[in-house]
Amino acid sequence: SNFVVLVFVVYFSFVGKVFYDVFFPETCSEGKHCVAPYFSTSQRVDIYLVPTVSAKRTSFKLVEKKAATVLKNVSPSEYSTHDITFKAAPAVWNNASLYLHMFITKAGRDISPDSPTFNQFDVYTVSQPLTTHMYSDTHNKMHLLEDTTKTANSSANSVESEKKEGRSIDNRPFNHLKRHISLFYVDDNNEYDIQRPPVQFKYKQYTHYLPMFTSTDLMLTRKDYKPVEPLSNDSNHTLTFTFEMRPISIGAYRLLLQFINSITMMKTSFGLTEKDIEPIKELLFGSNLKVLLLTFVASVLHSLFSFLAFKNDIGFWKNKKSFGGISRSGVVFNWAASLIILLYLHDTHETSYLIVFLNGISFVIDSWKMFKVITQKTKDKGVEETQKYDTQAIKYLSSALVPVVLGFSVYSLLYKPHKSWYSWAIASLANGVYMFGFVFMTPQLFINYKLKSVAHMPWRPMLYKAFNTFVDDIFSF
């Protein structure tokens, strides 16, 4: 245990040093070839926003002729939001992809190469997809007790309706619009050694580094998209989103690049889908940097206590010869609960493979515990007394919980859509585990009360789990 704690301390110190180097890169010292920022702190810009179905960047001349949305005199060093309404091509309602091309130039300058004020170092172009294709939340789900004829008629009407609206009719994903687009500006005024820049700069005559603008959908999760609503008779083909100007530090930009590379590698090398990566996005970008660092500290402590609890729990059950005082029904319930949750996570297809894998390990361990308890051959007085109290407690408990679980299952069947009867059954059981799992601690408490002893309990694993709960509760605020 001491070695494990030492490893965690060394790892935590190393990560802290890496974070410090990321957010506080080495600046240029005297005698070096230094490059200064091209933009001053007070520099303002004009931003031309051009939504189009073409993924290729539109030429400057063409942008001038288009009815582009122009944001004048914007300070890239200050956070600002702008509600943008634009007229989209009808093809967007037939699942054509939509892109946003952003042209940034110094305030008052023209983006046309023919203009006398044009300067190639003053114009920057960033492009980002504005739509993506997603399934609806009720994809492949139905009300199981609906009349078959009624369902068939509804499906036929739905098909005709979707034909009229120009939307997909074969369960394919359809267009979802991003609720907001963020343009990031690296707000940094330090001078750097041209031989050791913190990031890959572009230079103007190797005396100044050019400003860095970028946009990414890395931070967006499913809730940040909205379906493109069907066209109505009085529709004017307009869509709306929020444009954000977001300044970030050089350290945050370097961290963002690392996140983009890491998530890209997860997708290409490990085959993870967007569904698997979404919880990581919510953890990394669902809060500010200070909360993220606190979350990292909590995660390290959580991992440490979880590992120690796991290690001591395995040791306790491995060396246990007599199970007097241990609730057999509690062990069996934990095994059944692990199996139900594992099947439920597999059926929903909405949980990352990492979570499913961890639950699979938990199920294997619970199976091993249950096997040891059930196959125990020693029948001493303590074991027989424990089984008597255990049977008595579970009798009263099941009579109270079974009707509640059955009632909720019937309610779910009547009012909620499901993919199949199996999905309904496994979801009902999983909801029962989530709602009443803690109640199944009652048999063990009842046994402890009757035996007037807790010496048979695995105290070290329970102590580490208590520390884990304390850490989770503290950092939840």
Q: What tens digit of pLDDT does each residue of 51-103 get? A: 988 887 766 666 655 668 889 999 999 999 999 998 888 888 888 899 999 98
Question: Cβ–Cβ contacts within 10 Å for residue 305, how many?
Answer: 20
Structure tokens belonging to residue 178: 């991003």
Q: What tens digit of pLDDT does each residue of 169-200 get? A: 445 778 899 999 999 999 988 899 888 888 87
Residues in the chain: 477
Q: What is the pTM of this model?
A: 0.62
Structure tokens belonging to residue 85: 């309404």
Mean pLDDT, consecutive 10-residue stretches, the chain (477 aa), reads 75 81 84 86 89 78 70 92 90 88 86 75 89 72 56 45 42 83 91 85 83 87 84 72 92 84 77 70 65 72 77 79 74 84 79 69 84 72 71 73 81 79 85 72 73 72 74 60
Structure tokens belonging to residue 446: 């009842």
